[in-house]
Amino acid sequence: MKKVVLAAAVLAVTAGSAMNAGSALAADMPVKAKKVVAPAPFDPWDLAFGAAIMNDYIFRGVTQSNHKPSVAVYFEPRYNVTKDVQLYVGLAGESISFPNRAAAEIDIYGGIRPTFGMFAFDFGVWGYLYPGGQCFGSQYTLAQGNCGGDIDFSVGNLGLPINGNFAKKRASFYEVYGKVNVALNDQFTVGFADYYSPNFLNLGAWGNYAAVTAKWTAPSTTFGSSGIGMYISGEFGRQWLGTSDIFYGIAGDPVYANGIKEPDYNTWNITYKVFTLDIRYSDTNLSKGNCNAFTSDFSTTNSSPAFVTPINGGANALTAFGSNWCSATGIVKLSADLTAMTNLK
């Protein structure tokens, strides 16, 4: 019996030693570590740029190119403070045909774009510069000194257009703005925007523009696997304006001798865009007479008693010119928009 017990003890010790040895061997075996992939470094800098050609340059329902073709370019460096906060500055240019004969618009702008979930905000300042302008002033406005140092007698720029409209040499101005886009889902987005200028188009009148927008983006499968994107968007806005300075006053008018109350108006547009082709319909509710008073359209030769308004011709006018610069129009635009981080890698 003792032999059996002793044999059992020996077997137990031997088995324990073997197990311990096995454990030791297992511990000594090299373990294959999982490959750790380092996260891609975060590059906060980006650059957006692009160019476009269009049959008409419309700004808030009013042509800026006399219903002629226009080209545009822009350049926008961006800095992403975080994935939800972006700082940006930009430089853009468009060809125009202004009443003061300026042929180019230069835009300088900058701001911040914070995003909170479905809400994408945009706050900034936008400057509109119109170099190369001339002063076209009536004898009444010249007598008041409103062209001042803008007059260059050597080039004879006091000659008025055939319709008698006049314009300042300097039309440059700036606006502060705030916008928000709300992504309801992958396809539908609505937006709200407000722009304010203390001296809109250097008219001497303050300006405030508010707008609501809506956009439907087609599903990515609409055009199969081609990668072509498509959307339809619409905008309705209202432009409020104050009273101009005396440069745009109506000589001898009992109410508007020292400046006209610039017309408030509504504007709207509908846009269809597929790939890089943008097709848009734009219109306002400005009459041809008030449009002429607001824009100082140098090209209009359309005169009629029907175009006389309190601010276009005045109380004593029998006939006045009317402008189609604010009328319904269609715009076809071909553009290319790129970002360095996405398109140039």
Residue 76 sits in a domain of what CATH number?
2.40.160.40
Tens digits of residue pLDDT in 225-273:
555 679 999 999 999 999 999 889 888 889 999 899 999 999 999 999 9
Residue 259, SS3 per DSSP: coil
Instruction: Name the residue type at position 109.
Output: Y
Q: Is residue 122 part of a domain?
A: yes
pLDDT one-digit tens code per residue, 309-320: 999 999 889 999
Whether 95 and 120 have beta carbons less than 8 Å apart is answered as no
Number of domains forming the structure of the chain:
1
Question: What would the mean pLDDT of 15-31 be, rounded to a whole number?
Answer: 45
Instruction: List the single range of 129-138, 225-234, 286-295, 316-325 with lowest mean pLDDT.
Output: 225-234
Residue-wise pLDDT tens digits, 55-94: 999 999 999 999 999 999 999 999 999 999 999 999 999 9
Dump pLDDT digits (tens) for 151-167. 544 444 456 778 889 89
Q: Answer left, alpha or beta for residue 276, where phi above 0 means left and psi between -120 and 50 means alpha.
A: alpha
- pTM for this one? 0.83
Nearest partner of 130 among 183, 186, 78, 201, judged by Cα: 201
Q: Which domain holds residue 69?
A: 44-343
Alpha helices in the chain (DSSP H): 2-28, 139-143, 288-295, 340-343
Size of the chain, expressed as the number of residues it contains: 345
272 is a domain residue? yes
CA–CA distance, 260 with 243 (Å, rounded to integer): 6
Confidence at 196, pLDDT banded by 50, 70, 90: very high
Is 68 within a domain?
yes
Residue 2: which pLDDT band, with cuts at 50, 70 and 90? very low
Q: Look at residue 28 in the predicted model and tell me its pLDDT.
A: 47
**Residue 181 carries which side chain, given as an amino acid letter?**
N
Q: Do 234 and 196 contact (CB within 8 A), yes or no? A: no
Q: What is the pLDDT of residue 3?
A: 43
In-domain check, residue 265: yes
pLDDT confidence of 136, banded at 50, 70, 90? confident
Q: What is the pLDDT, as a whole number, of residue 154? A: 44
Residue with the bigger pLDDT between 223 and 192: it is: 192
Q: Does residue 8 belong to any structural domain of this protein?
A: no
- Tell me whether residue 204 is in a domain: yes
